[in-house]
Amino acid sequence: MSQLPTTAQASRRFDLSQQFTALHKISVALSRSLDLGQTLEAMIQALYEHAYMQYGMVCLFDKTRSALFIEALYGADTEVVKGCKNVRYRIGEGILGTVMSQQRSLVLPRVSDDPRFLDRLNLYDYGLPFICVPIPGPDGVPLGVLAAQPMELHEDRLPASTRFLEMVANLICQTVRLVGHMSVETEALRQERDTLRRKVKHQYGFDNMVGNSQPMRQIFDVIRQVSKWDTTVLVRGESGTGKELIANAIHYNSPRTLEPFVKFNCAALPDNLLESELFGHEKGAFTGAVRQRKGRFELADGGTLFLDEIGESSASFQAKLLRILQEGEMERVGGDTTIKVNVRIIAATNRNLEEEVRAGHFREDLYYRLNVMPINLPPLRERQDDIVGLSQFLIAKLAAKQGRELRISDGALRLLMGYSWPGNVRELENCLERASVMSEEGLIDRDVILFNHSETSAMAPQGLPRGVAPPAHLDAPGDSDMDDRQKLIAALEKSGWVQAKAARLLGMTPRQVAYRIQILNINMHRL
């Protein structure tokens, strides 16, 4: 506690110059922190040190309990400060409650002269004055009261001291309102964050993962086990098999679920930018580096970093990545400070890393560092039992996106099961979205299913499941090497451009023919 000037050095009479000094100190205290308790305590400490007012006290009104409660007190013993949180004053009770009810300042020339003074804290000098002023509120109702006791008896200075405390109360009003708004916004953000966390956890929960085939059930069991630990995971599989979804499931079901999940595609940037993106850079490290920037490893500190397409990275980048995986430390580009990070790595690739290692394109030591817990995702053509479940899941997702009910016929499902799906689940989703757009009534039937026409040669893989019909082809008389567009044009020419006749030649419905004319961009008007 700062020492006050002695009587010989300065009078404790509160003059105009001291008011300006005290107000400056109080305004600084009020602007330093958004912690209401700390701010108010610093303010009433300034009252003691610069305004010669002791035992400053701020009481705020609690609407739910309809009473004043002490928010800050300065100058009392630690035990008194701890106990004051339980002290309350009802409206009209004591000096503080009276000021709250009357909504105007109250000055006691001597404490002993007014029987309304309760002195529940047993602090104040009964021979000295006492000043209590309301803290104004936005709706005319005070937010609370500010009270303090001048250190000497100078009745002629009481009006000036009261006006000064009223100015301080106005400053407190702004701070209380600001902190209140911040608290409301912070609570709203906290609730939104918790809602999003629950939503994401449900979205990537094990119960929400689609797949009943034996290979997928085994993979789900592995994910459940590996999610519990910080083991490095390498997810392998063809493009479109859902490697990123697996990485999400591992992170959001791990102990790191509340920490960041940062994704990075190693094939998305040239080698000279990869290092800056992953490790960050210092200001002035290179042309255009106008400020310090954190890399993905720092952003993911405490959480998980998903490195997609790790097989596409260069040899120099692999060497730098190996160090951070081994030592858990790195430097920003252009910096010399070693930064420790705690990051779980999940990598993914669609390449055969064993062949890449043999060919010298991928470091063997990095391969073993990443391949601690491999998860191999089978292509969709090897788990056709999952196509029905995946289709139903994706159609429900599309229905929610389009805001309508969508259904799929058994014939369409059989058609989907007969396709080889070189693009895997991603291609299935695209196919169903195209079909849903063309389904005016919300029923996805065979006639609106259109595979990628560049893949028509792969539509009928060897060994279709028993009872599964082969997909519909455009079989028109003529050259067997013609693609679907040429076959449809040939049928239309033979039928005199009558779509119904062309449909009979092709063994299709008129609706299927009309749909393919539109999708294959056949101009009926110019022919």
Is 210 within the bounds of a domain? no
Q: For residue 180, what pLDDT is reported?
A: 64
261-265 β-sheet, strand order: 261-265, 304-308, 344-349, 233-236, 373-376
Q: Look at residue 204 and tell me whether its pLDDT is greater than 70.
A: no
Q: Is 276 in the same domain as 317?
A: yes
Q: For residue 292, what pLDDT is reported?
A: 87
Q: Is 322 in the same domain as 403?
A: no
For 211-244, write each residue's pLDDT tens digit: 888 888 899 899 999 999 999 999 999 998 989 9
- Least reliable range by pLDDT among 177-181, 265-269, 315-319, 330-334: 177-181
Q: Look at residue 405 and tell me whether its pLDDT is greater than 90.
A: yes
The set of residues, in sequence order, having a beta carbon less than 8 Å from that of 315 and lying 6+ positions away, is 361, 363
If one compares 85 and 130, the residue with the highest pLDDT of the two is: 130
Q: What is the mean pLDDT of residues 14-27?
A: 75
Q: What is the mean pLDDT of the chain?
A: 82
For 161, the enclosing helix (H) or strand (E) is helix 158-203
Residue type, 275: E
Is 9 within the bounds of a domain? no
Tokens of 235: 């997810």
Instruction: Tell me the CATH number at 250.
Output: 3.40.50.300
Q: Pick the last residue of a domain from 377, 405, 428.
A: 377
| Exposed/middle/buried for residue 356 (C-beta within 10 Å: 0-12, 13-18, 19+) | middle
Q: How confident is the model at residue 477 (pLDDT cuts 50, 70, 90)?
A: very low
Q: Is 486 in the same domain as 445?
A: no
Q: What is the mean pLDDT of residues 392-409?
A: 92
Which range of residues forms the domain containing residue 307?
Answer: 217-285+292-377
User: How far is it, in rounded angstroms, from Cα 290 to Cα 311?
Assistant: 32
Q: Is 478 in the same domain as 440?
A: no
User: How far is it, in rounded angstroms, from Cα 326 to Cα 454?
Assistant: 45
Q: Is 27 in the same domain as 79?
A: yes
For 255-313, write each residue's pLDDT tens digit: 998 899 999 998 877 777 888 888 888 888 888 788 888 889 999 999 999 999 999 88
Q: For residue 317, what pLDDT is reported?
A: 82
For 27-62, write each residue's pLDDT tens digit: 777 777 667 777 888 888 888 888 888 998 999 998
Q: For residue 2, what pLDDT is reported?
A: 43
Alpha helices of 457-509 — where are they, by DSSP H? 484-494, 499-506
Alpha helices of 204-270 — where are they, by DSSP H? 214-226, 243-252
The set of residues, in sequence order, having a beta carbon less than 8 Å from that of 256 and lying 6+ positions away, is 230, 302, 303, 304, 344
Q: How confident is the model at residue 97 (pLDDT cuts 50, 70, 90)?
A: very high
Structurally, the chain folds into a number of domains equal to 4
Q: Is 367 in the same domain as 389?
A: no
Is 8 within the bounds of a domain? no
Q: For residue 206, what pLDDT is reported?
A: 65
pTM (2 decimals)? Answer: 0.58
User: How far is it, in rounded angstroms, from Cα 175 to Cα 31?
Assistant: 8
What values do phi and psi take at 456, rounded to 5?
-65, -25
Q: Is 346 in the same domain as 488?
A: no
Q: Is 373 in the same domain as 439?
A: no
Q: What is the mean pLDDT of residues 3-15?
A: 47
User: How far is it, in rounded angstroms, from Cα 527 to Cα 520?
Assistant: 15
DSSP string covering 413-462 = HHHHHTS--TTHHHHHHHHHHHHHHT-TTSEE-GGG----GGGGGGSS-S
Q: Look at residue 110 and tell me whether its pLDDT is greater than 50.
A: yes
